[in-house]
Amino acid sequence: MRILLASPRGFCAGVNMAMESLELAIERFGTPVYVYHEIVHNRWIVERFRGRGVVFVDDLSEVPPGSHLLYSAHGVSPEVRRQAAERRLQAIDATCPLVTKVHREAIRFAREGYTILLIGHEGHDEVLGTIGEAPESIVLVGSADEVDRVEVADPERVAYLTQTTLSVDDTARIVDRLRRRFPKIEGPPRNDICYATQNRQEAVRRLAREADVVLVVGSRNSSNSQRLAERARAAGVPAHLIDGPAGIDAGWFTGAETVLITAGASAPENLVEDCVARLRSDFGASVESRKVRDEQVHFSLPRELRRASALPAGNGQDRDDDP
C-alpha cells in the first residue's frame, strides 16, 4: 500500500488562533473557562479541553455571572454579546477573522437596504451568528433548488454571502443560479469561502484521481471535513470520514494500492499520524507527502488575551495604559 499525505491539511489559521486562545485563557485565568458552543468542530479536541476543566455551553444562562467566556471560532450573534454583557461575563472573542468579515458584509448590505441571501447549512453555528447580525434582512439558501423558491422584497436590491466552509463547486452552482434569477445581485468583494477550505478541497480534487480510497480525518459535525469527503466521492473515489484510527475498517482497502489521507481544518495532526501508523502496521504502507499549495497565514490572538498576556499570571484585568 502507498499512502499519499495531502498538504495542506488539518488546522487552519482560525482554528490555531482559537486553540491558542483557549490554552492561554486556561493558563491566565484558571478553570473553569466557559466556551459558547464547541471551540472547533472536533470531538477529540472538545473532549481533551473538557478534561482540563473547560465547560462548553449552548445557553449563557449556564455561565455564572462574572465568569470568563470564550466565543468559538464560528462567531456569535449580537444577541449573544448583549446577553454576555448583561451577565457581566468577561468575554474573549476568538471568532475567526474570516467569519467576522462575513458578519461585517451582512451589516453593510442590510444597512443599504438589500435582501441578503446567505448560502449555508441551516443550524450551523457560523450561520446562526451571521443571521443574527441582520435577521430581518437575511434569507438562508441551502441548495441550488431553493433559489427558485426564494422571495425577496425588491429583486433589484439583492445580495449574497456564504458560509466560509462550503463546497467550492456547490457554492459556485448556487451563485450561478442566483445570478440567472437576479441579474443585478451583489456579492462580497472577495470570496467568503475561506482560503483553507478552498486549499484542502483543491488538494483532494487534484490527488483523488491517483487514489483507490480516501480517508478524511475529521468529525461528522465539521462542515469542511464533510465537504472533503464529498469532493473525493464526486471524483468517483470511495471516501470515509473518521475521527481517528479507531474508525478505520480494514475491509475498505481490499484491492486498494493507494490511499489518500487528508484532514479537515479542525482535525489535529496527531490523529493523522495515528492513522498513518495504523496503515503502516496493518498493511506495511509507505508514505509520500504531496504538497498542492503553501499556506503562510496567521491570525493574532484576541485583544482581550493580548492585554491579559501583558499582566502577571492570575491577573486578568486590563491595564489603563494598554495601547
Beta-carbon count within 10 A of 274 CB: 15
273 labelled catalytic: no
Burial 275-289 (b: 16+ CB within 10 A, else e): bbebbeeeeebeeee
Given the residues 38, 105, 126, 133, the one annotated as active site = 126
Computed on alpha carbons and rounded to an integer, the radius of gyration of the chain in Å comes to 21
**Nearby residues of 13 by Cβ (< 8 Å), 6 or more positions away:** 96, 196, 295, 297, 298, 299
> What does each C-alpha distance from 25 to 29, 53, 160 come to in angstroms?
6, 12, 36
Take residue 243 and report the three cell numbers written for it.
Answer: 475521527
In the chain, DSSP assigns E strands to 2-7, 33-36, 54-57, 68-71, 90-93, 115-119, 138-141, 158-162, 213-217, 239-242, 258-263, 286-291
Q: Dihedrals φ, ψ of 128, to 5°? A: -60, -40
Cell 474508525 sits on residue: 247
> What does each C-alpha distance from 273 to 162, 235, 258, 307 come to in angstroms?
32, 25, 17, 36
What are the catalytic residues?
126
